[in-house]
Structure 1
Amino acid sequence: MDMKAWLLNPFTREEINATVFHMNPLGSPSPDGFPAQFYQKHWEVVGDQVCSYALKFLNHGGLLNDVNDTYISLIPKVKSPTKVADYRPISLCNVLYKIVSKTIANRLKKILPQIIAPNQSAFVPERLITDNTMIFVPSRGLRQGDPLSPYLFILCAKALTSLLNQAEACGNLTPAPIGRGPITVNHLFFADDSLLFCRAKHEEIKCVLNILDLYEKGSGQITQQQILLLAGVQSTSSFQRYLGLPALVGKKKIASFHSLIDRTWTRVSNWRTKFLSAAGKEILLKAVLQAILTYAMGMFLLPVSITRKLNQILRKFWWGFNEDSSKIQWVKWKQLSGSKEMGGLGFGDLRCFNLALLSKQGWRILQNPTSLVAQVLKQKYFNKGDLLEAKFGQGLPLHGEAFMLA
C-alpha cells in the first residue's frame, strides 16, 4: 500500500485507544481541567463518547472550536527577560484536542523518515539533535503543546530543503564538502534552528536571500532579521556554541567544558539554603544535576579534570557544605556511586556514565549506516572501514576519539 492510500485510510477506535493510553497521565494542566488520567481511569464510562467525537472529526472533518481553547505559558529564553521576544510561548491544549492531533501524528510519523530529508534531525524517529552537532563542529505561533505541530512544521520546512537542493543542482549554491568523497551538505536543520552553507560570494549570498524570501512568502514564517543581513555578515571567532554544545573544541578542552561546572555549581549553591532530606537530595542529584551533564556527555568525552571537579561538587551537595568548608564525608564517593544492590545509592560514576552514553552514540552509527551522520563520519574519518576499525591519528574529532575510547 502506498503512503497516500495508507494515510487516507479511515481512523479506527483502536488508534484512539492507543493514543489515550500512551499519554502522560498527569501532563500539563488544560482549560477543561481534565488530565489524561481521568480518561484512562474511566475509559469504560467515557470511552464511547470520546471515540465517537474524535472519529467524527478525523474521518468526516469539521471544527474543534469547543475544545480548541488553550492556556498560554511564557517560558523565558534568557536569564533576565526584558521584552516579549525573550519569551517562548507554550500552548497547553485540552486533552480531547491532544487525542485528535496525536492520533494524526502517530500515523504521520511512521512515514516521516521516508519523506523528510536527512538534513532535518528534529522530531523524526531514529534521529537526534546530536546528529547535527556531530556533522557540524564549529500570525499564529506554533502550538508547542500540540503533538501534531512539530510534524507539520518539518513538513513545511521540507520545501526549504527542496529549494536549497534545487539551487545546488543548478550550480547556484556551493555546498560544504565533507572530506574527499561525494557527500556534501548545503544545510542542517533542527526544527527551526538552521545552518546554511555556501561560498562567501555575492552571487551565492543573493541566491540564499532569494530562497529565504520565497520560503517566507510561501510558508508565512518570518525569517529573523539577523539572517536577512547575511549580505553584510563579517567573519567572526565568537561562534562558541551550536545547539547548546561547544562548536569549537581545540586544545583548551577544559575551558570549553567549564560551563558545565558553572551550571552545576550554580544549582547546588541555590539549593544550599534549603532544608532537604536525604531522599530529596538523592532525587535532585539524579534527576537534575546529573541530567545537566547528560547532553554534553553524549557527544564528548569530558576531560578527567572536569569529571573530577563535577564529582567533587556532587559530593559536597550530598554531604553538605558551608561557604568556606565542607562537612565530614563518612563514606567514600565510589561506594555511594555503586548500585543499591551492592550497598551504594546508585549515583553512578560520571566517567563510566560518559563512556556509556558515547557507546550508545557509536552503536547508533553502526546500526544506522545510511543516516546522514553515519555517512558523513565514514567519508571523512574512516572511508575504507567502519567506526570500529578507525584509528587515532586519522584526524578524528573529539567526539570521534570519544567513540573509540568508549
Structure 2
Amino acid sequence: MATDRRRRNMVEELVDNEGIEPCITQLMNKDLEKDFTYEEVCYTLKGMSPLKASEEDGLGAIFYQRFWHIVGKYVADFCIETLRGLHNMDDINITRIVLIPNVSSPRYMTQFKPISLCNILYKIISKMLANRLQKILHLCIDEAQSAFVRGRLITDNIIVAYKLLHSMKRKRVGSNGSFALKLDMSKAYDRVEWGFVQAILQRMGFLDRWVENVMRCVSSVSYSMVMNGEVGNLFFPSKGLRQGDPISPYLYGPQITHLFFADDSLIFEDVIVFGASVIKETLEVYAQYSGQEINFDNSDIFFSSNVEQNKREEVCRVLGVDWSNNLEKYFGLPSMVGRNKRRAFKELKEKLTRRLSSWSSRLLSMGGKEVLIRAVLQAILLYTMNFFLLPSSVCKDLEAVIARFWWKKKDGRKGLVCVERVVCAKGRGWDGVP
C-alpha cells in the first residue's frame, strides 16, 4: 500500500509557463548600467570599418576617425547624453535603403540587393550597447547556438553537422533510428516582434533602463527608399530587426537558443512520432509569439539508413515536411561527401566560372586582376578548403580556371606563358598569382 501511494504521489515533471529562467545577475546588470565613458566612444569608433557605406551626408566612419581631434568631444558628448535619455534617437535613426541591381535592366525586387545606409552617430550608440552585451552573451545563449557569441565559430556547427549526417547515413542496423530536420525560416530578421524581444530581455533579468535603451534602438528606426537618385518618403516599421544594425545580431540570438546558427536551423532527434509532434508544437508556439514564419514546405528531413519506410512516412506526416535522401547544403557546403568527391565539389568550379563571366567584359590591368583573384576567387575556395581536403584533380581544374583569367589578353588571345615554368612555392618567393 505504501509503495502504491508513493508511486501515485511521485512528482515526475513540473510545467513552467514562463519557459525562460533569469540568467542575468545583479553584478552583470551593474556592469551593463554603469555610465558610458569617453573612452568607450573612442574604442567603438576605432573598431568600425572606415569605408563602410555611410548615410546620405557622406560622412562615414573614416571622417570621424581622421578628425576625431576636432569633433571627438562633441560626438562623445552627444552619444553619452543620448544613452542617458537626454536626446531623441528618432532623428539619427533614419535609414536610407539603396537598391543595387544584380542584373541588367531589373524589374522585380528580387533582382536588387538592398543596402542600408545608417547614420554613423546611431551606429556608434548601437555598437556601444552591443559591446557591453557581447561580454555576457555566452551566459544567455545555449551552447547549441554558435552565432555572434565570442569564442564560438561557424566552423563548429559545420563540423558537427557533417559528422552526424555522415554517421546517420552509415547507420544501417539497429532499431533506434534518427532524423535531421533542416528548417527554412522565412525573412527571419524582418518578422521578429518587438514586444517579444522586450519580453525576452525582461524575463532574462535585464533591468528596465537597459531594456529601454535597447528598445529605443529597435523601435525608433524609420526607412526611406532611394530610387534613381531620389529619396522617397519616410515609412515606419512595426516589427523586425534591421540587418546591419550592430545590436541586431545580439538580440536575435537569445530568442533561438536551440536553433543553431541564427536562422539556419538543423535539429536532430530520434525517430519517435511523439518526439516529432513535440518539435512541431514547439516550433508553432515559437512562431506564434516571436512573429517568425517557418516554411515547412521548403524544409527538409533526412533519416538514418536504418529507419523503415513506414516510420519515415509517419514522421514526415506529423512534421509536414518532405523526406530527402540528401540535405544538399549546409552553410553553402555539401552536407555529405561520398566516394565521388570530384562530383561533390564540382560546384566550386562553376562558382568561379560564373564570377569570371561577369568580369570578362571589363578592361582589367594585371594589378586589377590580382586584386580580384586574391580578394574574391581565393576567398571562395578558402571557405571550402577550411573543412575539406579537395582532390588534386579538383585543385588542378580550379587552378586552370584562375590561370586562364590571369593570362588572358585584352583582345581575347591566350597567354603564351607556361605556368609550370614561372611559378614556385610561396615560401620560395612566389607572390600567389597563377
TM-score between both structures, scaled by the size of structure 1: 0.70
- Structure 1 residue 323 displacement after superposition: 12
* Among 321, 341, 345, the residue aligned to 2:431: 345
* Among 241, 244, 263, the residue aligned to 2:329: 241
Rg larger in 1 or in 2?
2
Match runs of 1:127-142 below 5 Å: 127-137=152-162, 138=165, 139-142=238-241
* Among 116, 121, 125, the residue aligned to 1:91: 116
Per-residue CA distance 1:322-373 (angstroms, 9 max, x = gap): 999842115536626536xx5533338xxxxxxxxxxxxxxxxxxxxxxxxx
* Among 290, 310, 313, the residue aligned to 2:398: 310
Q: Distance in 2 between matches of 1:85 and 1:275?
A: 29
Q: Distance in 1 between matches of 2:144 and 2:377?
A: 32
Q: Secondary structure at the match of 1:347?
A: coil
Match runs of 1:20-169 below 5 Å: 20-60=45-85, 63-73=88-98, 84=109, 89-137=114-162, 138=165, 139-158=238-257, 161=258
Which structure is higher in helix share? 1
Per-residue CA distance 1:24-57 (angstroms, 9 max, x = gap): 1111131332111111122122212211111112
1:218 paired with 2:289, answer yes
Match runs of 1:252-401 below 5 Å: 252-320=340-408, 326-329=414-417, 332=420, 335=423, 338=426, 342-347=428-433
Q: Secondary structure at the match of 1:25?
A: coil
Per-residue CA distance 1:137-185 (angstroms, 9 max, x = gap): 2453321121110001102223xx3xxxxxxxxxxxxxxxxxxxxxxxx
* Identical residues among aligned pairs (%): 41
Task: Name the CA shift for 1:63/1:209 in 2 (closer, same or farther; >3 Å).
Answer: farther
Q: Distance in 2 between matches of 1:249 and 1:47?
A: 54
* Among 240, 243, 267, the residue aligned to 1:196: 267
1:251 paired with 2:322, answer no
Contact 2:363/2:410 (<8 A) preserved:
no
Contact 1:72/1:89 (<8 A) preserved:
yes
Q: Distance in 1 between matches of 2:425 and 2:123?
A: 40
Task: Name the CA shift for 1:295/1:194 in 2 (closer, same or farther; >3 Å).
Answer: same
Higher relative CO (Cα under 8 Å, sequence separation at least 6) belongs to 2
Query: Number of aligned pairs?
Result: 318
Gaps of 5+ in 2: 1-25, 166-237, 300-316
Deviates more, 1:248-257 or 1:317-326: 317-326
Contact 2:296/2:321 (<8 A) preserved:
no
TM-score between both structures, scaled by the size of structure 2: 0.66
Per-residue CA distance 1:209-259 (angstroms, 9 max, x = gap): 221222223323333353788623232124211110001101011100010
Deviates more, 1:303-312 or 1:135-144: 135-144
Q: Distance in 2 between matches of 1:103 and 1:278?
A: 42
Contact 1:246/1:256 (<8 A) preserved:
yes
Q: Secondary structure at the match of 1:190?
A: coil
Q: Distance in 2 between matches of 1:205 and 1:80?
A: 46
Q: Distance in 2 between matches of 1:299 and 1:21?
A: 32
Q: Distance in 1 between matches of 2:360 and 2:399?
A: 17
Task: Name the CA shift for 1:48/1:311 in 2 (closer, same or farther; >3 Å).
Answer: same
Structure 2 letter corresponding to 1:35: G
Contact 1:31/1:70 (<8 A) preserved:
no
Deviates more, 1:89-98 or 1:147-156: 89-98
Q: Distance in 1 between matches of 2:339 and 2:105?
A: 33
| RMSD (CA atoms) | 3.1
Structure 2 letter corresponding to 1:91: S
